[in-house]
């Protein structure tokens, strides 16, 4: 699952950017992610749903945060 998650994130520039934003800021709302990625909220919402399903992020108190798996992937893709 770990290697699959790395491929899932590393294979898409926008997902990679989202993971990097969450690693740096620790949490972000949908609106913040949309603004920082210069992407429509609908696209980011769909991506966040996909990443949540894969166990990379979770939605807490109106914001998204990395899970333990998401944090491990974020650290790994820095070197990719």
How would residue 78 be classed by pLDDT, with cut points 50, 70 and 90? confident
pLDDT tens for 34-68 read 999 999 999 999 999 999 999 999 999 999 999 99
- Find, among 30, 25, 67, the residue nearest to 47 by Cα: 30
- Is residue 80 packed enough to be buried (19+ CB in 10 Å), middle (13-18) or exposed (0-12)? exposed
Q: Which two tokens stand for residue 49?
A: 């749903």
- pTM equals 0.92
Note the residue count of the chain.
Answer: 80
Architecture of domain 2-77: Orthogonal Bundle (1.10)
**Residue ranges per domain, the chain?**
2-77
Helix ranges, the chain (H): 2-10, 13-25, 30-37, 41-53, 68-77
């Amino acid at each position: 699952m770990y290697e699959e998650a790395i491929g899932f994130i590393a294979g898409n520039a926008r997902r990679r950017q989202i993971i990097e934003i969450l690693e740096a800021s620790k949490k972000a709302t949908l609106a913040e992610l949309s603004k920082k990625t210069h992407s429509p909220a609908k696209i980011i919402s769909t991506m966040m749903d996909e990443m949540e399903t894969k166990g990379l992020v979770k939605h807490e108190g109106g914001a998204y945060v990395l899970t333990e798996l998401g944090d491990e992937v974020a650290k790994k893709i820095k070197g990719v």
